[in-house]
Structure 1
Amino acid sequence: MLYPSGKLTTSDSNLGSRKYDSSGLVIVITTTRSGDKFEPIALTRLAHSLANVPPPLLWIVVEAQKKSKITAEGLRGTKVMYRHLTYKDNFTSPGGEIDYQRNLALRHIALHRLAGIVHFADASVIYDLKFFEEMRKIKRFGVWPVATVGLNRRKVIIDGPICQESKVVGWFSKDASSRTNQAIASLQDIRSNPTKMNVFGIGFDSTILWDLSSSSRTKTTTNTTKVFLKFVLEEATREKDTNLKAIPSDCSQVMLWHLHIPRSLVHPLHA
């Protein structure tokens, strides 16, 4: 089921004679979509962004084995430390495949005890690089607003935490392009339905996965790859509001933009 590329892999130009420890490690998980011919371009763009983040950073890219050769070649040419995970399973639901990929990555992190702060990043994400400085300050869970930019930039949806004096008190979602249709949810609402949380807007200490990987919850299920993402979302909503680190501390700034654009409509030079 899980076919990792082997030991921790990085391009020679990045490794050099330096040795990295896990202190301050950021683990970025990126999923891929079957049949997306522009995926290599998007991954290359993200690789350039991640190469500007001070180490240590580990990029985990997950995709179907049938399309992994091109990606593997591209990853070897980056200046980013990475692991490339592949699988043989076939999917008819894009959403189901994405969740499967995220769970595979989390399971890999748990099995290999990769200690760091985990962040889910789509290939089309754009960062304020100061975001990673803040992310490394996370003790257990961190949350931040995410802007999703639609086609032709005509619609921008922002969702994320609501803060009062650096304390997370709820969640909001609004259409910034029209300044209307704002929805607000309390922490209690989020806790009753963890799937309302935007996975691109949370980060967490990977060591929370250690107990799960050895617990009865994974031993009693026939497919252990299904439980990790669900566990993370549930734990994030259970976390005391005083322990949730907001990025930035007053939740006032968007530091991550998600370009939610159908790639089939995008010219490859602009992907």
Structure 2
Amino acid sequence: MSRVVCLTDRGTTQDRMFNKKRFFLILLIVVPVTLLLPVSYHTTIAPFFGARRDIGTREMVALRTVPHPQERNKEHCTNNVYVRPPPWSHSLPTIYVITPTYTRVVQKADLTRMSNTLLHVANLHWIVVEDADNKTSLVGNLLNSTGLNYTHLNVHVVEKITSRGSRQRNVALKWLRDTFRLNDSHHGVVFFGDDDNTYSLQLFDEMRYTEKVSVWPVGFTGAMRYQSIKVNALGKVYGWETRYAGTRPFAIDMAGFAVNLKLLLSKSKANFRVYNVGTGQQETRFLQDLVTINDLEPKADNCTKVLVWHTRTTKPPAFKSQGDPNIET
């Protein structure tokens, strides 16, 4: 009888030893995994929530809180996207992007695409000028939802003019001259960006420190794969690569240059001609009021890189159904 008890005690002891080994084995697996979790969090998630340390890098600044699917509403419609532009830096010149726009089927789509690009650019102010009697809610609501710094203007162009968008650009130039004074310490650059173009983010870095007028190539324009500027070995502009009216003093596309804000303020008469200006002459006449060819600053690796393209949105085919007229497209 005592022998049986001894065997039983030995079995119990072995079971305890086995359980202890299993317990320590589990600890060896669980503890390292637990210690690695904070490292994983900081390397894969934390950067998206962290504050920007360097204005030269582009990080996600903030994310929307995404509720339970059943609790979602129109204010929680995006996830893992930019909800505001990079923090403002007082050490960077401001880029003022002037964009004429007009009512059409693809207007909201074009403005949305452009705003998604501009959201990545630090110290940017978007001046959108509608061709309309009154500012439309479509454009106003879109601008307000982007989180961008913006100014919303309008002017209705009733009469036929030579160049679409010229009067709108002039309204934006007037706003800049009314807002800033030449002796202000504010530094900036002005760029004329249409809402149907495509822009590389590098383009905005290139133009930011423009001293007078900076220039670069433009893709898909003037019946060419790209229209460019001739630059000599000393980095000076001496001509134009274009198929149309190459003898123009400034044979350049509207998307192919930027102007220093102080230069614009000092040249109060510089505006876009509205009447009696031939095709391709708007840019030339405007730039003639500002600089000479010797003042031009070639960007984009001495004008060897294309950073902006004319990519007009194709008009959708005829709709077989209009759907709910209250839903914007």
Deviation at 1:107, TM superposition (A): 1.2
Report 1:1-271 matches (<5 A). 14=84, 21=90, 23-33=92-102, 35-53=103-121, 55-63=122-130, 64-66=132-134, 68-93=136-161, 96-113=163-180, 115-148=187-220, 157-165=225-233, 166-173=235-242, 182=243, 185=246, 189-191=247-249, 194=250, 196-213=251-268, 232-236=286-290, 238-241=291-294, 243-261=295-313, 263=315
- AA at the equivalent of 2:127: I
SS at 2:146 equivalent: coil
Contact 1:36 1:263 in 2 (8 A): no
Comparing 139-148 with 21-30, which one deviates more in the overlay?
A: 21-30
Q: 2:194 is paired with a residue of what secondary structure?
A: coil
| Structure holding more strand per residue | 1
- Aligned to 1:142, the other structure's residue is in SS state strand
Instruction: Specify whether residues 260 and 21 from structure 1 end up closer, same or farther in structure 2 by C-alpha distance, changes over 3 A only.
Output: same
| 1:249 alignment partner, SS class | helix
Q: Cα gap change, 1:21/1:231 in structure 2, threshold over 3 Å: closer, same or farther?
A: farther
Do 2:248 and 2:284's aligned partners in 1 also have CA atoms closer than 8 Å? no
Structure 1 residues 100 and 246, CA, compared in 2 at 3 Å: closer, same or farther?
Answer: same
Q: Structure 1: which amino acid aligns with 2:195?
A: A
Rounded to whole Å, the distance in 2 between the matches of 1:240 and 1:21 is 31
Higher Cα radius of gyration: 2
Q: Does the aligned pair in 2 maintain the 1:110–1:206 contact within 8 Å?
A: no
Equivalent position SS for 2:241: strand
Deviation at 1:41, TM superposition (A): 1.1
CA distance 1:66–1:265, shift in 2 (3 Å): farther
- Mapped partners of 2:142, 2:213: distance in 1: 32
Q: Do the aligned residues in 2 keep the contact of 1:61 with 1:83 (CA within 8 Å)?
A: yes
Unaligned runs of 5+ in 1: 1-12, 174-181, 219-223
In structure 2, the residue corresponding to 1:14 is in which secondary structure?
Answer: coil
Compute the TM-score of the two structures, normalised by the length of structure 1.
Answer: 0.70
- TM-score of the superposed pair, with normalisation by structure 2: 0.59
Structure 1 pair 19–132 and aligned structure 2 pair: CA distance change class (3 A): closer
Deviation at 1:230, TM superposition (A): 7.5
- AA of the residue aligned to 1:141: V
- Tell me if the contact between 1:162 and 1:172 (Cα under 8 Å) persists in the aligned partners: yes
Number of matched residues? Answer: 224
**Partner Cα distance (1:266, 1:27) in 2:** 36
Superposition deviation, residue 262 in structure 1: 5.2
Quote how far apart the aligned CAs of 1:42 are.
Answer: 0.4
- Change beyond 3 A, Cα 1:225–1:258: closer
Does the 8 A contact of 2:135 with 2:153 survive in 1?
Answer: no
RMSD across aligned C-alpha pairs, in angstroms?
3.3
In structure 2, C-alpha distance between the alignment counterparts of 1:164 and 1:229, rounded to whole Å: 22
More contact order relative to length (CA 8 Å, sep ≥ 6): 1
Q: CA deviation at 1:65?
A: 3.6
The alpha carbon displacement at 1:233 in A equals 1.9
Structure 2 residue matching 1:245: 3-state secondary structure: strand
Instruction: Give the secondary structure class of the aligned counterpart of 2:173.
Output: helix
User: Do the aligned partners of 2:96 and 2:188 also contact (CA within 8 Å) in 1?
Assistant: yes
**Counterpart Cα distance in 1 of 2:96 and 2:254:** 14
Paired residue type of 1:211: S
Identity of aligned residues (%): 25
Are the equivalent residues in 1 in contact too, given 2:189–2:209 (CA < 8 A)?
Answer: no
